[in-house]
Structure 1
Amino acid sequence: MRLAALLLLALAAGCSPKPKVLRVCADPNNLPFSDARGEGFENKLAELVADELGMTVEYTWWAQRRGYVRNTLKEGQCDVWPGVATQVEMLATTQPYYRSTYVFLTRADRHLQLASLDDPQLRTLRIGVQMIGDDSSNTPPTHALARRGIVQNVRGYMLYGDYAQPNPPAEIVRAVDRGDVDVAVVWGPLAGYFAARAEHLLTLTPVTPWLDGPQWPMVFDISMGVRKDDLELRDRIDEALVRRAADVQALLKAYGVPAVAAPAV
């Protein structure tokens, strides 16, 4: 009997399930969001959620270029994208874990005090904007400035950038720091993180109006996204985010993410 019991224990140990894995889609060169060393806040968020769910993190690394979702989540290479716009059409998304805004980024020693897209200074200042590519899919501030006829004094910095360099989207922040442009209109989390590492003191001011016309918001809710048919995982992540809400907010604050309240409608 004793020998049989020992054999059963040995078999049970040999057949024990492997630790559950949270398979995360992430860019290996995209701070402050993620990088291959796990230093981005989306890396930390994934680890926090996985810990809450009793899972370990496994990454599928893929540069966030066009076709990112198609080549990662939809190919079954990974199961969750930690930083995606809430209710984006192609995915099922959690409740938002933060809300942030585009900001005017300037050097403090310039004392420009910009806040509105309607500020007349924008017609003469050198302005940096984040660009994606063709005009139909560029960032909201780019469209908002063009709608006002502010084009000739605008310089584009590619959101994708030179991937051979570290954290290519950060070039627009470096341009403000160097004085290549007078002001840049930058997505808040990127601006906040790299402004803290700039040579000069930089000022971040939320862009107003928060909604420029019916289709160009400056404020976005951000969630974790999964495949549309993976609602069970989405709901489990939602519950983990609620339970660890204080830790999530502390993480965002540590990375300089500018948080904003829900816009007044």
Structure 2
Amino acid sequence: MRPTRSGSDKECHGRRHALASAGILALAAALIASAGPSRAAEGEPFRLCADPTNLPFSSDNPSQPGLYVEIGQALAQALAQPITYDWYKSYFGKRTVRVTLLGKQCDAMIGLPLSDDFMGPAVIFSRKFGTEGYALVTDNNRVIGGIGDLKGKRVAVQFATTPQNLLAERDDIEKVTVLSPDEGMKALDQGKADVAFIWGPVAGWLNKTTYGGRYRIQTTEGEGLSWDTAIGFAKTSKDLRDRVNAVLPQLERTIAELAVKYGLPGDRAIRFTATSAVTRQASDETVAKGAGGPAQSPDGTVGTGSGVVKVANVVAAEAKADPATAGPETVSSGKEIFNGTCAHCHGPDAVQSERRIDLRLLNHRYGDEMRTKFWTTVQEGRPAKGMPAWKEVYTDDQVESIYAFLLTVQSQSND
């Protein structure tokens, strides 16, 4: 017969059981702590912000996801986390960052400019993973060593970008204004330009996928021309930022291979010196640089930069007879001449947000004198205001075609 336990025996046994249980719990806690933050986050998705139609950077097409998406996939794998995506158009610029990243719809946005001035303290960054910037695109047998080599050349340059402002004061360089890297490459391919000064990553991608590698892509560097790129996080995500920083060095070779895969230029950059006016504009361009420079809205309008864009006031005094109704060919010809020459200051297709150089307001300003003002100003120029004389450049018929085009875009606003 087993002896019965006394009250003190039972109390002793209970204490031993409690101590053992506490020891097990302490051991479990220690094991969890030793696993580190990356183990604690395992199983949670790595939520990536990305543009669904922005190659070479990102795409929602699994067969061609883009550089940033593939970097995100490699990061998620290194962090032992599944990946999910929050798709949002990048042409909304900083609004995109506010809605997605700062709106807690995603955890990380790849490819932001590594700058303390970007979005204030609300956004924090990983370490640098690359450098991106504007590039000079030429035939493979042409090498550009600096801005002096552009003298006498026709240069396709993106509207409202640092390169456009950089070249604005160079009268010895013929500027051909374009709205996008794609238009710049087309101008080069169609013989309308000798050089294209456009967003390098997109130029490299188009050269690889559309033009069979027949162009030389030479990157540039300087204030407003190139930026170090990093991964952005909300300021509340310091732990995730630190974990990403811990694994980024392991992915250097992968990122380099992906850059080659998507055609990003990898040459030694040409140093350009930008003016102070150019540098003031730079931070506004960085947000949408993945999309090819300045932010462009869905209706196609583009924000203009400040600084050295020259002003052309329409004033003058020589009358000409009213033109006959211009046909579509005349209007088309005038539009082409305008976009090749005048758009540098007055905006592509005469779309310009600065009222003083908005040629859509000519009729509103001058009424019946519009034609006289236009002809005198174009022929004689206003050199003191940055408007050259064009009478030795274009024939009367060509000037007439520009006027015919401008008639089609006149605003009815009375503001």
TM-score, scaled to structure 2: 0.49
C-alpha contact 1:177 1:202 (8 A) present in aligned 2: no
Structure with the bigger percentage of strand: 1
Which of 126, 147, 155 matches 1:117? 147
- Say which SS state the counterpart of residue 240 (structure 1) adopts: helix
Match of 1:205? 218
Q: Please state if 1:56 is matched with 2:88.
A: no
Q: Verify the 8 A CA contact 2:112 2:231 in the aligned structure 1.
A: yes
Mapped to 2, the partners of 1:150 and 1:70 lie a distance apart of 42
Q: Would the alpha carbon gap of residues 25 and 155 (structure 1) be closer, same or farther in structure 2, given more than 3 Å must change?
A: same
Alignment of 1:21-60 (within 5 A): 21-38=45-62, 39-60=65-86
**How far is the alpha carbon of 1:202 from its aligned partner?**
0.8
Q: Work out the number of aligned pairs and report it.
A: 223
Identity %: 28
Correspondence 1:253 to 2:266 = no
The answer on 1:183 being equivalent to 2:195 is yes
Structure 1 residue aligned with 2:167, among 128, 132, 145? 145
Once the two structures are superposed, the pairs formed by residues 1-265 of structure 1 within 5 Å of their partners are 19-38=43-62, 39-66=65-92, 67-87=95-115, 89-90=118-119, 91-108=123-140, 111-121=141-151, 124-131=152-159, 138-149=160-171, 153-158=175-180, 170-199=182-211, 201-207=214-220, 210-211=221-222, 216-259=223-266
Of the two structures, which has the highest relative contact order with CA contacts closer than 8 Å and spacing of 6 or more? 1
Cα distance in 2 between the residues matched to 1:223 and 1:263: 22
Q: Distance in 2 between matches of 1:150 and 1:29?
A: 38
Is the 2:219–2:268 contact (alpha carbons within 8 Å) kept by the matching residues of 1? no
Distance 1:186 1:177 in 2: 14
Q: Residues 29, 150 of structure 1: CA spacing in aligned structure 2 closer, same or farther, 3 A cutoff?
A: farther
User: 5+ unaligned residues in a row in structure 2: which ranges?
Assistant: 1-40, 272-415
Question: Residue 135 of structure 1 aligns with which residue?
Answer: none
More helix by share: 2
* Alignment check: 8 A CA contact 1:127 1:181 kept: yes
Query: For residues 53-81 of structure 1, what are the alpha-carbon distances to aligned partners after superposition, in whole Å with 9 as ceiling and x for unaligned?
Result: 01122111111123211221122111211
Q: Secondary structure at the match of 1:199?
A: coil
Deviation at residue 245 of structure 1 after TM alignment: 1.7
Report Cα offsets for 1:100-126 as digits up to 9, x if no partner. Answer: 332110233xx44323223353xx433
When Rg is computed on C-alpha atoms for both structures, the one with the higher figure is 2
Deviations 1:167-200 (A, max 9, x none): xx53433432333432211222212121112336
Matched residue SS, 2:72: helix
In structure 2, what residue type is equivalent to 1:101?
Answer: G
Residue of structure 1 in register with 2:359 after alignment: none
CA offset digits 1:124-156 (Å, max 9, x no partner): 43322233xxxxxx4321221124357862312
Q: Compute the TM-score of the two structures, normalised by the length of structure 1.
A: 0.74
Structure 1 residues 11-44: Cα deviation after superposition (integer angstroms, max 9, x where no partner): xxxxxx9931111111111100001114201111
Given that 2:42 and 2:80 are in contact with CA atoms closer than 8 Å, whether structure 1 keeps it comes out as no
Sort the Cα spacing of 1:260 and 1:218 in 2 relative to 1 into closer, same or farther, 3 A: farther
The one-letter code matched in structure 1 to 2:176 is V
Question: Is contact 2:133-2:226 (8 Å) kept?
Answer: yes
